[in-house]
Amino acid sequence: MSEWVVDGVETDLDAFHLGPVDLSLRPGQAVAVLGSSGAGKTTLLRTLAGFLPCREGRVLRDGVDISDWMPEERSLGYVPQGLGLFPQRTVFGNVRYPMELRGRPDANERTEELLARFRLTSLKRRYPARLSSGEQQRVALARALAAEPKLIVWDEPWQALDVEARHELGTVLTDLRATEGVPVIVVTHDPDLAFSLADSFIVLDHGRVRLAGDARALLDRPSDPFVARFAGYENVFDRATLEAGRERPFTAWLLASAGPDGVAFGTPEAVPTIGVPSTWEGLVRSARPNPEGVRVELTVDDLMVVLRLPRPWPAKLPMAGDRLRFNVDERTVHRLGSAAGGAR
Amino acid sequence: MSDWGGPPPRRRWRTGPYWLALQIVLSASLLLLLLLPIVALFTYAPFSRIVAAAENVYVREAIGVTLYASGIAVLATALLAIPLGYLLARRRFFGRSVVESVVALPVAVPHLMVGLGLFLLVLPGSPLYRFTNAIGFPVNDTVWGVVLVMAVVSAPYTVLASQLSFEAVDARVLETARSLGAGPATVFITVTLPVALRGIVAGLLLTWARAVSEVGGILILAYTIYPGGPYNGPVTNTVSVYIYDLFQAGDLADAAAVSSLFLLIAFVLFLAVRIGERSGWLPWRRGDLTP
């Protein structure tokens, strides 16, 4: 049970500047760090883990400033991208490693316990190169826990996992937070994971915090194209595209609501041909069923708009070249890149 | 890949037959080139001659002193070259390219030149001559001279191999080890070195091979090996010089016999290491994807 506070942390890596970042984690809480490539997510994790110095600000663990501590003193379960398994050690040897360092007399028994808990017992003599990615993830997590971390910091845990393995790892992480109260910070590109796991989010963009808050903040006020797409907005248009088609009616209408980085709006439903008034019309490019209904790609002006036909399935799927009509709920239209959505 | 389903692939060759044929022809040509001189040695020297060589006390002494000196040279190289390789792999410093080039030099020049350079350095009366004698490591015509030449001409292989191996160790693996509670020195001992060990050992094997095959430098610095320092054996030569002498004296049959004998020893040593690696008895290839 530990409480972590990241207080105005800034760091420099060559020409890249990160921060200031503020975060606080209560026991068992999970934070998802989002952002496109090069936004500074890994830099933030490596700073917390002690591999990059804090230029400004402090990292507090249970009220103690650990900003100057060595990585090995921070009691932090850092799982990098690629997992960092030791290739020359077996599964058993990997999980035992942190306990060897601490000279625990019960290292073997503890290792067996952890292996059993992560269903790795039958694989314990294997080397990491011979494991599937799901198995490797479990080894990485078991090894991190063997060090009895006070915070788990995980870079892209879901990478290269199939649906089953994702689900399983999600369950393990949730258990872990509930039973041991270990807070978790994950960097992820996966909305499913983020929304199922995280209590709060921070969004990084070019080293700055664009948004911090819980899922509602992210969903209601997407701050930039990346966040909008992450939050499930399928209709995201950048400003340059809109400017180019400004004399067309739909484009012009969108442009009026656009911020510096463009505009996003929630997926509208197609309007039936008769009976309901509609504002816009487009040409169907494709229509494919998915778990939420039928996803329709529509050309409106020169823009590609995504619509949905809700389930139950319509008697006949729209065909390419059909015309469909729709309305855009103005409450779902968000200007992107404006100060409104950002934390600063 | 049993869950791929469907009938087994109909194509017999996973690579095209021409491509495979090309690989086989080229590889076989090189193997032939490597093997033929050896075959020549063994056919020239009748088996009885090889046995006689193995029983000859002078030959035994020459082989003994060669293995002894090369062993020390490899140990000394391991001690000095691995840290240099690590330094070159992990640190960026001014003059790094110069250092790398200096390291490669002894390999790139005729070894007579290296021997000559060393010889000039320890010319009787020179400061280094007095120093090495004072500390009990005289090098002129002693086993230490042999060790010195061997180490100088063969250490670059270990420097280069360990540099490449250390560079190939994933920095994230090392960071993870730190985070799990290991200090920098512990990470080096428990992770960096074991992961890099395979490449380093390959370098040390090359170093050893190069050391035992050295002639040029030894001819100049320690043609004849007299007892001195901690070496109290008889007056002898390294096996390479011994064979060179036999050849110079026109004794082709004996030269071939001693060569064959030494070839057998070297082959058995290399084979033992390879088998040890494959079987997992030697630790440094454990965890490789290809067994």
Structural domain boundaries in chain A = 4-225, 235-336
Kindly indicate whether the domain formed by A4-225 is annotated with CATH number 3.30.360.10.
no
Residues 6+ apart with CB under 8 A from A273: A325
Give the closest-approach CA distance of B85 to chain A in angstroms.
21
Pairing of strands A56-61, A4-13: antiparallel
Cβ contacts of A230 within 8 Å, gap of 6 or more: A34, A189, A191, A194, A218, A222
pLDDT at B77 exceeding the cut of 50: yes
What are the pLDDT digits (tens) for B187-197?
Answer: 999 999 999 99
Q: Is the overall model pTM greater than 0.90, yes or no?
A: no
In terms of Cα–Cα distance, which of B163, B154, B287 is closest to B217? B154
Dihedral (Cα; A231, A235, A241, A242), 10-degree rounding = -110
Determine, for residues A127 and B287 on separate chains, whether the beta-carbon distance falls below 8 Å.
yes
CB-CB under 8 Å, B181 with A102: yes
Taking contacts as CB-CB distances below 8 angstroms, the residues of chain B near A154 are none
Across the range B12-22, mean pLDDT stands at 77
Considering chain B, what percentage of its residues have pLDDT values greater than 90?
50
Nearest by CB to residue A84, choosing from B173, B286, B288, is: B173
Q: Which of B179, B195, B284 sits opposite A76 (nearest CB)?
A: B179
For A172, the 3-state DSSP assignment is: helix
Q: Which is more confidently placed, B10 or B66?
A: B66
Record: contact B173-A87, CB cut-off 8 A: yes
Q: Enumerate residues 6+ apart whose C-beta is below 8 A from B136.
A: B229, B230
Distance from the Cα of A92 to chain B's closest Cα (Å) equals 13
Could you please report the per-residue DSSP string of A11-71? EEETTEEEEEEEEEE-TT-EEEEE--TTSSHHHHHHHHHTSS--SEEEEEETTEE-TTS-G
Q: Do A97 and B286 touch (CB under 8 A)?
A: no
Residues in chain B: 291
| β-sheet with A64-65: strand ranges across | A16-25, A4-13, A56-61, A64-65
Is A130's Cβ below 8 Å from some Cβ in B?
Answer: yes
| pLDDT of res. B125 | 86
Encode burial over A45-56: b for 16+ CB neighbours within 10 A, e otherwise.
Answer: bbbbbbbbebee
Mark out the alpha helices in B91-215 (DSSP H runs): 96-108, 111-121, 127-134, 143-168, 171-179, 184-187, 193-212
Q: Do residues B66 and B239 make contact, with C-beta atoms less than 8 angstroms apart?
A: yes
- Which amino acid belongs to residue A177? R
A74 touches chain B (CB under 8 A): yes
pLDDT, tens digit (0-9, with 9 covering 90-100), for B117-159: 999 999 988 998 999 888 888 888 888 999 999 999 999 999 9
Which pairing describes strands A152-155 and A77-79: parallel, antiparallel, or unpaired? parallel
Q: How confident is the model at residue B1, as a pLDDT?
A: 42
The amino acid sitting at A200 is S
Instruction: Say how far apart CA A123 and CA A90 lie, in whole Å.
Output: 9
Does B175 contact A80 at a Cβ distance shorter than 8 Å? Answer: yes
Q: Name the packing angle between helices B57-90 and B47-55 (round to 10°).
A: 80
How many CB pairs below 8 Å do chains A and B form together? 86
Chunked mean pLDDT (size 10), chain A, 344 residues: 87 88 90 88 91 90 90 90 91 94 92 91 92 89 91 81 79 82 87 85 88 86 84 90 88 89 88 77 91 90 89 84 88 76 36
In chain A, which residue's Cα lies nearest the Cα of B285? Answer: A88
Q: For residue B282, which amino acid is it?
A: L
Report whether A186 contacts A46 (CB < 8 A): no
Residues of A whose CB is below 8 A from B172: 80-82, 84
Report CA Rg, chain B: 23
Task: Give phi and psi for B21, each to the nearest 5.
Answer: -60, -40
Predicted local confidence at residue A175, as pLDDT: 82
The alpha carbon torsion through A189, A191, A192, A194 (nearest 10 deg) reads 80
Residues 6 or more apart in contact with residue B262 via CB below 8 angstroms: B63, B66, B212, B239, B243
Residues of A whose CB is below 8 A from B176? 78-80, 83-84
Put simply, whether A213 touches B (Cβ < 8 Å) is no
List chain B domain ranges. 68-239
Contact list in B for residue A50 (CB cut-off 8 A) is 178-179
Measured in angstroms, the CA of A209 and the nearest CA of chain B are apart by 25
- Contact flag B195-A86 (C-beta cutoff 8 Å): yes
Instruction: Return the bridge partners of A265, or none.
Output: A235, A333
**What pLDDT does residue B2 have?**
44
Residue range B68-239, CATH number: 1.10.3720.10
Cβ-based contacts of B175 with chain A (< 8 Å): 46, 49, 51, 71, 78, 80, 84
Q: For position B291, what pLDDT does the model report?
A: 40
Q: Which amino acid is at B232?
A: N
Half-sphere exposure of B146 (CA within 13 A, CB side): 32
Write out the H or E segment, with its range, that includes residue B254: helix B252-279
Nearest to A86 among B179, B183, B191 (CB): B191
What does the pLDDT read at residue B154?
Answer: 92
**Would you place residue B30 in the very low, low, confident or very high pLDDT band (cuts 50, 70, 90)?**
very high
Task: Say how far apart CA A24 and CA A22 lie, in whole Å.
Answer: 7
pLDDT of residue B229: 62
Burial class (CB in 10 A: 0-12, 13-18, 19+), B25: exposed
pLDDT number for residue B24? 93
Nearest CA in chain A to B182: A72
B contact set with A (CB within 8 A): 170, 172-173, 175-183, 186, 190-191, 194-195, 197, 283-284, 286-289
Q: Which residue type occupies A246?
A: R
Give the model's pLDDT for residue B92.
Answer: 86
Contacts of B287 in chain A (CB under 8 A): 86-90, 127-129
Considering only the beta carbons, identify the residue of A71, A81, A85 that sits closest to B178: A71
Q: How many residues does chain A have?
A: 344
**Å from A85 to nearest chain B CA?**
6
